[in-house]
Structure 1
C-alpha cells in the first residue's frame, strides 16, 4: 500500500467516524427533546441531513445510535491516553484525557448549563429499556479499548493482567458518577472541577473523607 492509499483510507475512516458521531448526536437531541416514542429513523436522518439508508448503514436502531456516542467519547479518551507524554503519571494522563472529552473548555468553559427540561428528558431517555442492552455493549467495548490504552502506557498485558481492566472500569465509573453528580445539582455544578476531584480521590486510593 502506498502512502497516498493510506492517506485516502485514513480520510475515509475519519469521515465515517464523523458521520457516526453526527447521527448519534442527532438521535440523542431528538429523543431528549421529543421523547423516545416520538422519534423515528426518518426524523433522525432528516435532522442529520442524510438518507434513511445511510442511517441504516451505520446503525440498526435508535438505541445503537445513542450508545455509539458514549463509545466514541471513550475511544477518544483511549486515543488521548496513548498520546500523552510517556513520563507522565498514569492518573495525570487519565485526568487530561477525560477532561479533554467531558469538559474540553476546562473550568472556565463558557456556555449555558442544561436546563431542567433537558436534564429530565435525558434521564427519561437513559432509562428507556430499549437502550439498556446497547449501552451495556458500548460499555464493554469502551472498557476493552481503555484497557488496551492503559496497558500500552504501563507495559502490562491487556489480555491477562487485571490492572488495565480495573483502571478502565474505574475511568468509566468515575466519569459517570461525576456527570450524574453535576446534573443532579440545582443549578448544575461545573463538570471539570468535579471530574478532577473524582480522579484525585481515586488516585489517592479513595480514602475515607
Structure 2
C-alpha cells in the first residue's frame, strides 16, 4: 500500500511540475496575456479538468516553484533549534536555502524577468507572500518571550526578513556576478547591524 501511495504522490508531483514548467515556457514564448489554462493543459497533454485538480488558475501554475521554495524556507526555519534567537534562526534558514540556488539558468532568468515585469501578477504574488508572512510570523512568535509587543515584533521581523530575501534575489537576477548565498547573507547582515 505504501509503495502505491508513494508512486501516486510522485506522479502527482511530476504532473504539477510539468504544468508549472509549461506555463512558464508559454508565458516566455507567447506573453502572459496570450497564455490560457487551455493552452497550458494542451501543451502538457492533460485535460482542462486535470489542470484544475492541480491549480486554480494560470497564475498559480506560474508561481508554483516560488511557493515550493517558500514552503521549503518555512520548513528550514521550523527545523532550527527552538532556543535560537528569531533573527538568527531566520538568517541561517535563509542562507541555507540560498546556498542551493547559485546556478542561474538563463531560461529561468528570462522567465523570471517576464513574470516580474508583468503587473497583473503582482496581486497573486502579494497573496502568496502574505500567506507565508503570516505563517512565518506565527513561527517567530513561538520563539519570542510572551510580551505585549511580541505580536508586532514577530510581524516586523517576518516582513523585514522576507523583504531582505526578495531584495537579494532581485539583485542577484539583475547582477548575477556574485553567489546568491553571499547576497542573502549581506542583506540579512545589513538588517541585523541596523
Shared fold (TM-score, shorter chain, > 0.5): yes
Q: Which residue of 2 aligns with 1:135?
A: 125
Q: Which residue of 2 aligns with 1:72?
A: 68
- Counterpart check, 1:147 vs 2:143: no
**Residue 96 and residue 13 in structure 1: after superposition, are their counterparts in 2 closer, same or farther (change >3 A)?**
farther
Q: Which residue of 1 aligns with 2:97?
A: 101
1:59/1:65 contact within 8 Å kept: yes
Deviation string, structure 1 residues 72-100 (Cα, Å, up to 9, x no partner): 32222122211111233332321232234
TM-score normalised per structure 1: 0.72
Q: CA RMSD in A?
A: 3.4
List structure 1 runs of 4+ shifted beyond 4 angstroms: 8-22, 46-50
Q: Which residue of 2 aligns with 1:60?
A: 56
Gaps of 5+ in 2: none
Deviation string, structure 1 residues 50-76 (Cα, Å, up to 9, x no partner): 432121123232113223433332222
Aligned residues: 191
Greater percentage in helix:
2
Greater CA deviation, 148-157 or 174-183? 148-157
SS at match of 1:125: helix
1:178/1:194 contact within 8 Å kept: yes
